[in-house]
Structure 1
Amino acid sequence: MQIKQFHLVRPKQYLLLATILLFSSSLRAQLPKVLKDANEALRTGTETMRSIGGFIDATKRTTEQFNKNVKVVKSGTPQPSVPADQTTKPKFKKGDFTNIKWEPIAYFDGQIFPSMVISMADYRGNIDNAFMNSVKSSALGFRFISNNSYIPLKWEIESSDKSYFDKVSGDFMFQQAGQEVYFMPNIPWNMSTLAKQVSSSPINIIFRLYDEDGNKVERSVPLFMRSINDCIYRYHEQKFDFLFTAFIQEQHPEIDKILKDALKTKLISAISGYQGDDVNTILQVAAIWKVLHDRGFQYSSVTTTSTNSTNNLVSQAVRTFDNSMKTNQANCVDGTVVFASLLRAIHISAVMVLTHDHCFLGFYTSKKKDKILYLETTMLSSSDIIDKAPPAKKNQAYVDQFMQAVKYASNKEYPEYKAANDLVEIDVDYYRSFVRPLPFQ
């Protein structure tokens, strides 16, 4: 039921009320247009503030918001053929273009991770969101927005240090008014230089825009080139933990020597992968364990990178298989990388199990991938069982020592982390189809 409300009209209000009543008919007729014009002014003003007036702070935007509001354009995307009378000429005044807002893009808080650039240079995985497409290679580019459509521009990106890359350039057409666009060209990185980046150092990248009259706007951005051993695995809420698989090097020449030594242990008669039963698979891993143990592999807890992690960015120092072989040291991630490299070389499928503070190995015991065991690689240097065994029972003692690390990971670690919902399993076989291994020296 509708309840009507009645109000007394005071004498002093009579004149105002009469005026309103007098013009009510014309007001009603004009009201739709007035409201439309007001809404249009509000919308246009909001768009102008958002575009020409300034960008939304990208560092505070979630990836979900990014995917919803941003269009990512990659190199090689066909540019539209637009008649000259439909294009909007860039307006140049006082050293800048005034009818299109732009800024350089340098993801990861102004840091470049060579391990990411190399491992994702030819990434062929199915990436179904704009954010991942914008960072999957160089993470360098341009951010555009304008209230006009079809603005033609020429662009350049140049490294002040030519050993990283020289210069890349091309044409770009900003197409849709009001659409925030990230243009991410392919950067011709010198992969050999990146692979040798063992320490972190500053680098300047110059971003340039030109119009057809030769007017130029240039901005230099100081960045920080990280070490090849620094692995980024989270940026804002986007996870990159699969990049740990880039440090697995299953084609390293040292692997053949380790496998020959594994045969000499007499724990196995052949390196056969999944050609035998489950026990044969386990004994192959145990033989590799014995070789590495006897080489004196030690656990090293070093995980810090050249710069500290932040709330937005988390990274860790990781030794490649090559690094670990040269130093005989490995932290939890390194040890998992070492074993995954060796197992992939003999076609045994491996899994990297990542938690908030730890990493250990999983390996399938058959080709069907229906059974999996876990291995705590940081127990590689343990010798309590081996040291107590008489010479005649040394081999059995090595197997028992190995199985101690298997039981600890399989029966204690994995169930506890699983119950706490604190683990991610990275299938190395799956990601090797997309992420290339880092080169070894």
Structure 2
Amino acid sequence: MQCEKCHQTGSKQYLLLLLLFVFSLPIHGQLPKVLKDAGDVLKTGTETMRSLSGFIDATKRTTAQFNKSVKVIKSNTPASDVPADQVTKPKYKKGEFTNFKWEPIAYFDGQIFPSMVISMANYNGNIDDAFMNSVKSSALGFRFLSDKSYIPLKWEIESSDKSYFDKVSGDFMSQQAGQEVYFMPNIPWNMSTLTKQISSSPINIIFRVFDEDGNKSEKSIPLFMRSINDCIYRYHEQKFDFLFTAFIQEQHPEIDKILKEALNTKLVSAISGYQGDDVNTILQVAAIWKVLHDRGFQYSSVTTTSTNSTNIIASQAVRTFDNSMKTNQANCVDGTVVFASLLRAINISTVMVLTHNHCFLGFYTSKKKNKILYLETTMLANSDIIDQVKTPSKKNQAYVDQFMQAVRYASNKEYPEYKAANDLVEIDVDYYRNFVRPLPF
């Protein structure tokens, strides 16, 4: 029987030879920014209001046009801060206000994505982009345009289903005549309810605007609450693919069990992240691979959401780490989420490589992030190499070979082909974790 130390030495020598070829691949360009530049073309579903005769119904405004024309605010100047002689009283006639126009805002084709609401609820970064500030998190609010400055109003947003949220209200001051304003208040969503939203269902939201005399204008719009597993990754031309990182759950309690099993494989003497050399990092990933393989993980191609993607909006059903552990099933995105969760737990940095029809994992082999390997997680259930080995002493080597088969396929074939076709984006999980919180489990 081969001792543990000799086995690890032999595995390292074997892997070093393989890595001479794999690491000959060029290191790739800069990782993506948190948001695309404001100049990217984006149809917003609205158009600039040019007069108080009504809102223009158009779908051709670009991000640059939106950012130039629209002011997005989360809070408002109190009416008490404005001199009384500058305040303009709202005018009301026949059930409508006449010296300003307003309409409710509900982005994403009238659909609410709990995964987006939860993952961006505590966003604390700076988005220097008016449009992104208007859509992040719940994307519910008001659109105002007035022909006079400093018009004081009161507002309410109410959910007909109180389990999502009850009612939120406050004051609004329309400050500048002719300035299109998107007022996007924080919505007090019941996060526990959103987390349990496993199927899609209709929801009605009521928007109200009042004046101090009690005159009221009310508009109700039907929306569609999507499943917690539905991840929006494109809205018109704007990409939201960084939201896939919300499904990575590096603090899940099952991870400790898997890491203990990985240590028991004897492929490594410790689960230590980057405390060893490149080969030690790779052997840790291989040990995790062996554990999941032996647990019977299977590829499952289910990606369809409750509502089909359109040319306006695109989304995909994604299993969280918790979902995949309970079902032992994963599609390409799910498998990448599983490995990213496990590797982040031991401080190994990962990227999600997204193409127009596929997803696979990238992981850095050292803390310097100067070398990266890619892994095809859908090959997790493959056993052609393992099944050929009959003696226990050679079994672990066969697992390493099987694992490296998936590494070579992703690193030497998939990545170069997608890269040459200009059909991939790399989502740096460490970077986006600064902005996108993981979904609860």
Whichever structure has more helix as a proportion of its residues is 1
- TM alignment of 1:215-364, pairs within 5 A: 215-364=215-364
Distance in 2 (alpha carbons) for counterparts of 1:358 and 1:176: 47
Distance 1:76 1:430 in 2: 31
- Over the aligned positions, Cα root-mean-square deviation in angstroms equals 1.3
Offset of residue 77 of structure 1? 6.3
Aligned to 2:31: none
| Equivalence for 1:11 | none
Q: Which has the larger radius of gyration?
A: 1
Letter aligned with residue 437 of structure 1:
P
CA distance in 2, matches of 1:137, 1:413: 34
Write the mapping of 1:14-413 to structure 2, written as runs, cut at 5 A.
Answer: 50-57=50-57, 59-75=59-75, 81-391=81-391, 392-413=393-414
Q: CA deviation at 1:76?
A: 6.1
| Partner AA of 2:413 in structure 1 | K
Secondary structure at the residue paired with 2:275? coil
Partner secondary structure for residue 385 of structure 2: helix
Which one-letter code corresponds to 1:405 in the other structure?
A
Q: Structure 1's 244 and 78: CA in aligned 2 closer, same or farther, altered over 3 A?
A: farther
> Which region of structure 1 is more displaced relative to structure 2, 381-390 or 83-92?
83-92
Alignment match, 1:26:
none
User: What is the one-letter code of the residue matched to 2:349?
Assistant: S
SS of residue in 2 equivalent to 1:289: helix
User: Does the residue aligned with 1:384 lie in a helix, a strand or coil?
Assistant: coil
Q: Give the 3 Å change call, closer, same or farther, for CA 55–428 of structure 1 in structure 2.
A: same
How far does residue 79 in structure 1 lie from its aligned partner after superposition?
A: 6.4
Of the structure 1 ranges 185-194 and 391-400, higher mean CA displacement relative to structure 2 is found in: 391-400
Cα pair 2:134 2:184 within 8 Å, conserved: yes
Secondary structure of 1:208 counterpart: strand
Structure 1: stretches of 5+ with no match in the other structure: 1-47
- Provide closer, same or farther for how the CA distance between residues 420 and 79 of structure 1 changes in structure 2, counting only shifts above 3 A: farther
TM-score, structure 2 as length reference:
0.87
Structure 1 residues 249 and 118 mapped into 2: Cα distance closer, same or farther (>3 Å)? same
Report the alpha carbon displacement of residue 99 of structure 1 after superposing the two structures with TM. 1.1
Alpha-carbon distance between aligned partners in 1 of 2:63 and 2:151, rounded to the nearest angstrom: 27
Contact 2:76 2:172 in 1 (8 A): no
Task: Please give the alpha-carbon distance, in whole angstroms, between the structure 2 residues aligned to 1:65 and 1:304.
Answer: 34
Name the structure 2 match of 1:416: 417
Q: Deviations over 1:318-352 (max 9, x none)?
A: 00000000110000000000000000000100100
Distance 1:176 1:240 in 2: 32
- Greater RCO (CA < 8 Å, at least 6 residues apart): 2
> What is the distance in 2 between the residues matched to 1:276 and 1:58?
58
What runs of 5+ residues in structure 2 fail to find an aligned partner? 1-47
Instruction: Judge conservation of contact 1:62–1:236 (CA < 8 Å) in 2.
Output: no
**Letter of the aligned partner of 2:352 in structure 1?**
M
Residue type of the alignment partner of 1:231: C
Q: What is the number of residues matched between the two proteins?
A: 393
Question: In structure 2, what residue type is equivalent to 1:295?
Answer: R
Deviates more, 1:71-80 or 1:255-264: 71-80
Letter in 1 for 2:135: V
Partner of 1:432: 433
Q: Which amino acid aligns with 1:297?
A: F
- SS in structure 1 of the partner of residue 192 of structure 2: helix
Task: Work out the CA distance in 2 between the residues paired with 1:255 and 1:179.
Answer: 52
CA contact (8 A) 1:265 1:287 kept: yes
Q: CA deviation at 1:57?
A: 2.8
CA drift at 1:138:
1.2
Q: Classify the secondary structure of the residue corresponding to 1:161.
A: coil
Secondary structure of the residue that 2:438 maps to in structure 1?
coil
User: Contact conserved, 1:267 with 1:395, CA < 8 A, in 2?
Assistant: yes
Provide the rounded CA distance (Å) in 1 between the counterparts of 2:49 and 2:195.
43
What SS does the aligned partner of 2:99 have? Answer: coil
Q: Distance in 2 between matches of 1:311 and 1:60?
A: 14
- CA displacement at 1:63 relative to structure 2: 2.0
Q: Structure 1 residues 257, 172: CA separation in 2 closer, same or farther (over 3 Å shift)? A: same
Contact kept? 1:80, 1:173, Cα under 8 Å: no
CA deviation map 1:238-282 (0-9, x unaligned) = 111100000000000000110011011111111010000000000
* C-alpha contact (below 8 Å) 1:63/1:237 kept by paired residues: no
